[in-house]
Structure 1
C-alpha cells in the first residue's frame, strides 16, 4: 500500500513519530530496541493470533480478502451489514446501519502486556474513509473478563477523507487501578456503530512514546459535564435538549405549574414511549415534566451537562425524581464509587438550581437475569452508596428493585424484555411502588 508508505515518510519528516523513534510505519517493522515494541497487526495478525469480525448477533473468523458477518435466519436488523476487507498491509472495517460492529485481534495464548501498561502507548495507523453517520471506539483487553474502551467518534469524523494518519494513545487510557495485564487474549479491538468505513494498519504496543491523542480521566469522567456523543444520538441529543428547554419556557410563560420533574436516561425516557399510558394515569394530573428529561444513553456526566445548560431553567417543582447510572456501568464497568460520585454531583446541581424541590433518588434498577451477574453486582454496589445520600430532609432514597424481581433475585424478560428496559406493565409496577414516597414528598 504505497499511499501508507508515502504518508509514513511525511510523518517522519514532520516529527510526528514517537519521541522514542520506535513508532513503526505501514510496511516497516522492527524499529526501536528489541523488546520495546510488541506488534499486534502488521501485514496480518502476529503469529499465534487471528482476526475476528462481528456484529451483535454473530461473528466470523477472518480468512481471505473479504468477509461479511453472516446474518441469522431471523435478523433483528435485517438492513445492517458488517464486514472487513483485508489488503496487503491493512484491514478495513465497514458497517452499515449497525448497532454494533467489531474487528478484533484474538490470541491463541494470552499475551503479557505488563511491560506496556500503564506507562507505554498503543500506536496504529488509521484511515477514516466514511464516518458521517457512524462512530468508532478502541478497546484493549486487561485480563479475563476485562476490557477498556476509549470512544473516538468526534475525532474520527474530523479525520474523514484525510488519508492515513498515525494515532498514539497513552496506555493509561485503557488502564484502571488493579488491572492485571499479565494474560490478555484480545489485545486490540476496533468497534463501530451506525454507518462507516475505516482502515487500520500497524497496530503495536510500545514501552514508551509521545501520545498525539487524549482520553477522559476515568476517575473524574462521571463528574465532568459532557454531551452524549454516540453515532445513534449525536444528531438528535442536542436538538432534543433544546426542544425540552423550549417546552419548559412555554410552561413558565403560560403560568403552568410543574409539580414533578423526572430526570434520567432511557429508562426515564421510556415514560413517553412504552410507559405513556401509565404516565397519563398517574402523572398527567401533576403537569409533570418527566417526558422531557430522560435521555436514552445518558451517563451521569451527560445529565450533568444538561442540568448546567438550562434543562431546569424556569421550573420550580415540588419533587424531582432522579435515577441515573446504569449506563456508567454497562458502557464502562465503572467503579461504583465513581458512578455514585456522578449521581451526587447531579444531586448538588439540582439542589443549587431548584432550592425548593425535594429529591426522590431511586436506586438504579436491576439488569441482567441473574443476581450475580457482573453488571447487576456493580449496580447493587452503587445503590449501597446512594442509600447514604438520604438526609431525612430534602433527599429521600427509595429502592423498589424487589418489585421487579422474583424471590431469588431473578429478572424475567416478562418484566424487562431486554433485561434492562421496562414494558408497560413494569412502568405500572414502578408507579405503584413509588407512589407512597412520592405523595409524602409532595405533601411536605
Structure 2
C-alpha cells in the first residue's frame, strides 16, 4: 500500500550548513546506536525535555494549560540493550516524541520514493491519540498523518513493522532541503507505546497510507480525533432527534466549536436573540469542512426548511493542518453546495472565519484572512450572502482582546453578544 499523493514537488536548493549525511545513505534516527546529529526530545503542551541518559521526564508546570501532564520516555530493550524507547503520557492534551536534527538535514532526494521505517508496539491507546509528523522548512509547514484508529487496532498485538511514505508529509512547493524535524510521534490524552529501529531510506515498500491533502477538505468523514471519538457520533444522533422537534426552525447555525459555544458561553445570548426563531445550533467542536459535510450527508438538516442558515467554519482546517487557503475554501464551497441541495429554499449567510491569534500578523490569522478573501466571492446576494463582522471583535490596532476571546479563538459571553449585535441587521433583512 502506498500514499495517494501524486505530483509532489520539493525545493532542491541546498544550504551550505545542511548536514549531507542523509543524501548518500539511509539515515538512522534511533536504534540504540549513536547518531551525533539526532537527539530525542519529548514534549508536553508547556515544556520539553531532551533524553540524555536512560530516561527523561517533562516537568509539570502549575497554572499552565496542562498542569497535571505526565510525559516520559525510557530506553528499553527489544532485540538488544536500549535499542527501543518506551513513551508514556497522560493528562496531556498534546504530547510528542521527537527525533530532532542538531544540524539541518537535506531530505529533498528522499521525498518522492523514501520511507520512514520503524517497529511500533502499542501498549495502551484506548484513551489516547497518535499521529506521525514531520516538518519541512518555513512557516505553516507542519505535516501530520493521523493514525489514531489504526493505532488502537494494534494495541496489545506486540511489535509491528511500519513503513510510512515520506511523500505523505509533502505538499506542492514544500522545501525539505534543511529539515530539523524529520520524524515525530504526536500523541494526546493517555497512552503508552514503544518504538525501535527508526530510520529513513530512499526507497522501500510501504504499509501505511495517508489522505490526499488536496481533497481531504471535500471528502466527507467523521471527526476521528482521540478526544472526539467518544462523543462526536452520539452528538450527531442527538441533533437528529433535536431537529425532529424543531422542524419549524427559521434560523439554523452550522459550524464548529465556536457555533457549539452558543450552547455554553453564548447560551443566554442565543436564547435572548434566537429562541423566538426556534433556532437550532449545529456546532461540533473540532469540526473541519469534511466533518460538516459528513453531517450534512447523514441527515443533520433533513426535514428542516429554515429561512436562513448561518455558516461559520474553517478555522480548524487552519489550526489542525495549516491547510492552504484555497483547499479550505473548496471545502466550504462543497458544504454550501450540499446545503443548497438539501435546503433549496433557505438563504445562506456565510460569515467570514472569525479572527484568531492576538496580533494581526499572527500566522493562523493570516491564513484565515486569505480563506475569507476567497469565500467572499461565493456570495451571489440572492441565495448566498457573505458577511464579515471580524472588526467588531478587534481593537483599534487590530488586536484580538482576551476579554472577548480568552483563548484567542473562542468567544466568551461578551464575544457572543458582539456576534449577535453585529449580525442582527443582516439577519433581520434576510428573515424578511
Task: Say yes or no: TM over 0.5.
Answer: yes
- Whether 1:314 aligns to 2:309 is no
1:231 alignment partner in structure 2: 226
Match of 2:166 among 148, 159, 171: 171
In structure 2, do the counterparts of structure 1 residues 150 and 45 end up closer, same or farther at CA, with 3 Å as the change threshold? farther
User: 5+ residue gaps in structure 1?
Assistant: 1-32
Match of 2:259 among 253, 268, 272: 268
The answer to which of 330-339 and 204-213 deviates more is 204-213
Q: Please give the per-residue CA displacement for 1:126-155, whole angstroms capped at 9, x wherever unaligned.
A: 110001111111111111332211111000
Q: Please give the per-residue CA displacement for 1:6-32, whole angstroms capped at 9, x wherever unaligned.
A: xxxxxxxxxxxxxxxxxxxxxxxxxxx
Q: Please give the per-residue CA displacement for 1:341-395, whole angstroms capped at 9, x wherever unaligned.
A: 0000000010000111000000000000111121111100000000000011000
Instruction: Give aligned pairs, total.
Output: 405
8 Å Cα contact 2:60-2:69 kept in structure 1: no
Q: Please give the per-residue CA displacement for 1:210-267, whole angstroms capped at 9, x wherever unaligned.
A: 2111110000000000000111110000000001101112334xxxx10111000001
Match of 2:319 among 325, 330, 333: 330
1:110 alignment partner in structure 2: 104
1:132 alignment partner in structure 2: 126
The answer to which of 164-173 and 45-54 deviates more is 45-54
Counterpart-to-counterpart distance in 2, 1:150 and 1:308: 25
User: 5+ residue gaps in structure 2?
Assistant: 1-21, 77-81
2:272 alignment partner in structure 1: 281
Q: Please give the per-residue CA displacement for 1:115-174, whole angstroms capped at 9, x wherever unaligned.
A: 111331222111100011111111111113322111110000000000111111111210
What is the Cα deviation at residue 44 of structure 1? 5.2
8 Å Cα contact 1:42-1:203 kept in structure 2: yes
1:434 alignment partner in structure 2: 423
- Whether 1:242 aligns to 2:237 is yes
Match of 2:86 among 87, 92, 107: 92
What is the Cα deviation at residue 35 of structure 1? 3.2
Higher relative contact order (CA 8 A, sep 6+): 2
Match of 2:384 among 395, 400, 404: 395
8 Å Cα contact 1:45-1:51 kept in structure 2: no
Matches within 5 A, 1:344-359: 344-359=333-348
The answer to which of 180-189 and 61-70 deviates more is 61-70
2:36 alignment partner in structure 1: 47
SS at match of 1:72: coil
Match of 1:405 among 394, 398, 403: 394
8 Å Cα contact 1:144-1:184 kept in structure 2: no
8 Å Cα contact 2:45-2:66 kept in structure 1: no
Q: Please give the per-residue CA displacement for 1:416-435, whole angstroms capped at 9, x wherever unaligned.
A: 11111101001000000000
8 Å Cα contact 1:108-1:185 kept in structure 2: yes
Q: Please give the per-residue CA displacement for 1:34-91, whole angstroms capped at 9, x wherever unaligned.
A: 9342222221562222111111011111122222210113343444311112221111
Counterpart-to-counterpart distance in 2, 1:411 and 1:299: 23
- Give the alignment's Cα RMSD to 1 decimal: 1.4
Match of 1:259 among 234, 238, 250: 250
TM-score (norm 2): 0.91
TM-score (norm 1): 0.89
In structure 2, do the counterparts of structure 1 residues 73 and 79 end up closer, same or farther at CA, with 3 Å as the change threshold? closer
8 Å Cα contact 1:144-1:183 kept in structure 2: no
Counterpart-to-counterpart distance in 2, 1:165 and 1:182: 30
